[in-house]
Amino acid sequence: MRFAPLVLAVLALLPLQALSEEPPGAHAFGFTSIEGEALPLERFAGKAVLVVNTASRCGFTRQYGDLQALWERFRDRGLVVLGVPSNDFGGQEPGSEAEIKEFCEVNFSVDFPMTEKVRVRGAQAHPFYRWAETTLGPKATPRWNFHKYLVAPDGRLVTWFPTQTRPDAEAVIEAIEAHLPAAPAASG
């Protein structure tokens, strides 16, 4: 018992993360919104989040329409679609944030949250993307635009889908539905 104060003092000096075996979840990261405001992922705690790196001049750009439809279908049930513009692949997102936002709104009526343009690959990748690669392995790293990560309501990164998998594909819908927050009990 005489060592208890010493043990407590040592534990107090350790970062909380050192006491936990679990790495930080997605909620530990943040982006800047396309409008230039802070966009911490902890804002979406309790919701499923589909994080998609996007580009306006890509053969897969039509997926913006599918993402908007997914957002409209599931947002009231706890899904957030988060578009992350990136110019990493073929220079297919050369515009400014204002140009990207206007393109998405005019052509696809996008109103889901979007971030400022970031890197999603390599040493200069946004910390969320470096964490995702560490968490799910190098095979889960974006290889092109419209790569999708699904984050569970508790911040765990649960799966990913390659560019070619459309947002309305059965596998994506099933994964989203399996990770939507539980519906509140009906009162009655």
Mention every residue, 6+ apart, whose C-beta is less than 8 A from residue 54: 61, 63, 64, 83, 84, 85, 86, 93, 114, 145, 146
Query: Which pTM was predicted?
Result: 0.85
Can you give the pLDDT at residue 2? 54
Which CATH number covers residue 161? 3.40.30.10
Q: Please list the active-site residues.
A: 58
Tokens of 55: 């580009």
**Spatial contact of 29 and 41, defined as CB atoms under 8 Å apart:** yes
Tokens of 109: 């009526």
Q: pLDDT > 90: what percent of the chain?
A: 83
CB burial of 49-68 (b: ≥16 within 10 Å; e: otherwise) equals bbbbbbbbebebbebbebbb
Number of domains in the chain: 1
- pLDDT tens digits for range 24-64: 799 999 999 999 999 999 999 999 999 999 999 999 999 99
Residue 47 within a domain = yes
Can you give the pLDDT at residue 9? 46
Residue 7 within a domain = no
Residue 172 within a domain = yes
Residue 20 within a domain = no
Residue 156 within a domain = yes
Provide the residue range defining the domain that includes 175. Answer: 32-179
Residue 27 within a domain = no
Residue 13 within a domain = no
Query: For 73-187, where are the E strands, in sequence order?
Result: 79-85, 148-151, 157-161
Query: With a cut of 50, which residues of the chain have pLDDT below it?
Result: 1, 6-21, 185-188
